[in-house]
Amino acid sequence: MLLLCVVVIGGALFARHQANTIITEFSSLDTLSDPSAAANALMRQYRNHFVDKNCQSSLCQYQFLFTNKAISTFRVVPRAEIRVYVTMNHAALSIVNLEYTSAIFKADSPIVGVQEDFCRVGGVPPCDYFYIDPHGRNVLKTWNGSVMFGQMATMEQRRAAWALNPDCFTARRGCSNITELLPTIWKLTSPGAVSSRMRSMADSISDASQPLPE
């Protein structure tokens, strides 16, 4: 029993550290002088987590899978996953997409996708967009959320988008909605509704006129 406790505690520490590291490393690519070289280095580093490659013309997408198997195997916590998709256009980094899922195999397991597009300053279309779904106030959609933004979005927007909660990898019952997976973007305003904490470029005039939730 003591050995099992040690294994579980060690597995929980490892799982949380892994989740935090993955989120930090892939969210930091836009701060580096050569994001493409850094992305290639990360893909080599995590080659043991590589699960798929899909190429169409000059675009190749690489998929990597990270789980909390070290502790979910013992049914201490529900299974959680982070899937990272890296898209390269020739040798240049084009897209980084991270999908974070908690309490897999339960009904309406929450999932959040965060996508950053790497594009040139002054490019067409502009690279400073920031979109959230769901957005607005009291939206009846708590289990599925997405954030998509360009490399030239503001620092505040990029930080909020990448502030995924690593605790969902080790939470005793997992995380039950998108506000727990990404609390800097959404707030639970009732058991079945969320409000966005950031402005989306898809906000209507009426959405933009309302204050953001604290």
pTM: 0.91
CA dist., res. 81 & res. 104, Å (int):
8
Q: What percentage of the chain carries pLDDT values higher than 90? A: 68
Predicted pLDDT at 156:
97
CA dist., res. 36 & res. 92, Å (int):
5
pLDDT of residue 147 exceeding 60:
yes
Kindly indicate the confidence band of residue 103, based on its pLDDT and cuts at 50, 70 and 90: confident
Mean model confidence pLDDT for the chain: 89
Q: Got the DSSP string for the chain?
A: -HHHHHHHHHHHHHHHHHHHHHHHHHHTGGGSS-HHHHHHHHHHHTGGGEEEEEEETTEEEEEEEEE-HHHHTTTSS---EEEEEEEEETTEEEEEEEEEE-STTSTT--EEEEEEE---TT-SS-S--EEEES-SSSBS--SEEEEEEETTS-HHHHHHHT---GGGGT-TT---SHHHH-TTTEEEEETTEEEESS--TT--HHHHHSPPP-
The position carrying tokens 């800097």 is: 184
Q: Which of 97-111, 133-147, 184-198 has the lowest mean pLDDT?
A: 97-111
Predicted pLDDT at 11:
65
CA dist., res. 24 & res. 128, Å (int):
21
CA dist., res. 54 & res. 144, Å (int):
25
Q: Which residue did the predictor score with more confidence, 106 or 143?
A: 143
Q: Nearest CA to 31 among 122, 158, 149, 121?
A: 158
Kindly indicate the confidence band of residue 72, based on its pLDDT and cuts at 50, 70 and 90: confident
Predicted pLDDT at 131:
97
CA dist., res. 104 & res. 41, Å (int):
30
Mean pLDDT of 184-201: 94
For residue range 74-97, list pLDDT tens digits in order.
777 899 999 999 999 988 999 999
Structure tokens of 172? 């005793």
Q: Nearest CA to 146 among 186, 107, 106?
A: 186
Q: Max alpha carbon distance in the chain (Å)?
A: 61
Predicted pLDDT at 15:
86
Q: Which residue did the predictor score with more confidence, 13 or 168?
A: 168
pLDDT of residue 146 exceeding 90:
yes
For residue range 8-30, list pLDDT tens digits in order.
566 677 888 999 999 999 999 99
